[in-house]
Structure 1
Amino acid sequence: MSNKKNGKRESDAQYVLQKVQPALLGLMDGSVSTLAPLFAAAGLTHQAHKAFFVGLAASLGAGISMGLAEALSDDGKVTGRGSPISRGVITGVATAIGGMLHTLPFLIQNINTALHFAYGVVAFELVAIAMIRYKFMKSPLWSTILQVIVGGGIVFFLGIWLGKLGVSD
C-alpha cells in the first residue's frame, strides 16, 4: 500500500515537473510579455486590426522563443524534467496561447470595444494563472494572486502608458 502511494506521489510530481510547470511557464510568459506591445500598439494606432497583428506577432514570436529556450535549457537527464522536445513544445504552445487570448478581442473592429474585451481577458488570464499556480505548485493563494496580478499589471500599465506617450494630439 505504501509503495502505491509513493509511486502515485512520484508520478504526480513528475507530471507537474514535466507537463504543468512548462505549460505554466509558457502561459505566464505569453500572457505577460505580450501585454506591453499589444496595448502600446492599440494606443498608438487606434486601429484594432493593427493591434491584432502586433499581438499575433508578439505571441507567435514569444512562443517560438520560449519553446526553444525551454528545449535548450537542459536535456532532462540530470534534473528529471523529461524530454526537452516535449517541454519545449508545451512551453511554446502555452506561450503562444497566453499571448493570443488577449489578442483575439482585437479582431473586433471597434477599438474601444476590443480594448474593453481585452481588459476582461487579461484579468481572467491573470486569475487563471494564479489558480493554476495555487493548485499545482501549492503556492499560497492570496500571495500567488498578488504576485501574478502585480507583475502582469505593471507590464499592462507600461503598455498603456507607452501607447499614450507616443501619441501627440
Structure 2
Amino acid sequence: MSDTPFPSQPVAPPPTPPAHDQAFILQKVQPALLGLMDGSVSTLAPIFATAGLTGNPIDAFWVGFAASVGAGISMGLAEALSDDGLVSGRGKPFARGVITGAATILGGMLHTLPFLIPDLQTALTLAYVVVIVELLIIALIRWRYMHSPLRQTIFQVIVGGAVVFGVGVWLGKLGAGG
C-alpha cells in the first residue's frame, strides 16, 4: 500500500471495522475530529489578524477565547441537531454535540493560550509551534481511525491550516496598514 499523496495504482479500501469499533468511530471519533479540526483551523485567522492589528497579545487571547467558545457552541449545536442518530447510526445527538463542542473549544484554545504571554514575539512563536502540533495530531487521528494515508493526510491538514493562517496574517497586515 502506497503512503504517497497521489498513489499511481488504486489502493484497496481498508477493511470494515467490527461493529463496536465502527460505532466508536461514528459516535466519538468523528465528532471529536470534526471539533478539533474546526477549532484548530477556524480560529487561526481571527487570532493572528488581531495580533497583527493590535500588536497586543492579550487582545489576541480574548479574540481567540471568544472565537473558540462561540465556535464550540455553534458546532456543538450543529452536530446535536444534524440528525437523531437512528438512521445514520451516529449515536445520541446530545452526546455528539457535547463531544464536538468541547473538541472545538479545545482545538481553538490550545493555540490561543500562548497569547497570555505579554511578549508578542514569544507568544507568536509558541502559538506557531502549538498550531503545527495540533495539525499533526489531527493528521494522526485521521490516519489511525479513518485509515487515511499518513503523508497525504499530513499534507492536506498542513496545507489547509497554512491557507487559513496565511489569510489571518495577511488580514492583520492589511488592517494595520502594512
Detail structure 1 runs of 4+ shifted over 2 Å in the superposition: none
In the aligned structure 2, how far is the partner of 1:10 from the partner of 1:77? 15
In the aligned structure 1, how far is the partner of 2:177 from the partner of 2:38? 31
Q: Secondary structure at the match of 2:18?
A: helix
Length-normalised TM-score, structure 2: 0.90
In the aligned structure 2, how far is the partner of 1:76 from the partner of 1:167? 47
In the aligned structure 1, how far is the partner of 2:56 from the partner of 2:85? 44
Superposed CA deviations along residues 142-163 of structure 1, whole A, max 9, x for unmatched, are 1101110111110001001100
In the aligned structure 1, how far is the partner of 2:159 from the partner of 2:126? 20
Tell me which residue corresponds to 2:85: 76
Tell me which residue corresponds to 2:97: 88
Task: Select the structure that is richer in helix.
Answer: 1
Q: Displacement, 1:89?
A: 0.2
Q: Displacement, 1:168?
A: 2.4
In the aligned structure 1, how far is the partner of 2:36 from the partner of 2:119? 27
Tell me which residue corresponds to 2:6: none
Q: Displacement, 1:121?
A: 0.3
- Supply the AA of the counterpart residue of 1:113: T
Structure 2 gap segments, 5+ residues each: 1-16
Q: Displacement, 1:98?
A: 0.1
Tell me which residue corresponds to 2:55: 46
Match for 2:67 among 45, 58, 61? 58
Query: Do residues 100 (structure 1) and 109 (structure 2) align?
Result: yes
Match for 1:148 among 150, 157, 161? 157
Length-normalised TM-score, structure 1: 0.94
Tell me which residue corresponds to 2:11: none
Q: Displacement, 1:122?
A: 0.4
In the aligned structure 2, how far is the partner of 1:67 from the partner of 1:109? 32
Q: Displacement, 1:25?
A: 0.3
Match for 1:134 among 140, 143, 163? 143
Query: Alignment identity in percent?
Result: 67
Query: Do residues 30 (structure 1) and 43 (structure 2) align?
Result: no
Match for 1:112 among 115, 118, 121? 121
Tell me which residue corresponds to 1:17: 26
